[in-house]
Amino acid sequence: MPIHARTEALGFLGTHNINRYKKNFLYFMRKISEKIL
């Protein structure tokens, strides 16, 4: 039971980090495209 809860917590943190990384990636891509254009 504790192991299952731990894996669920890690999965939640993983998805949160992925969402934040996507936002940062889109932000940097927009800045780079602005510099290129």
| Cα–chain center distance at 24 | 8
**pLDDT of amino acid 30:** 94
- The pLDDT of residue 27 is above 90: yes
- The pLDDT of residue 36 is above 60: yes
Higher pLDDT, 8 or 26: 26
Find the DSSP H helices in 1-37: 2-36
- The pLDDT of residue 37 is above 90: no
**pLDDT of amino acid 28:** 94
Enter the tokens of residue 25. 């990636």
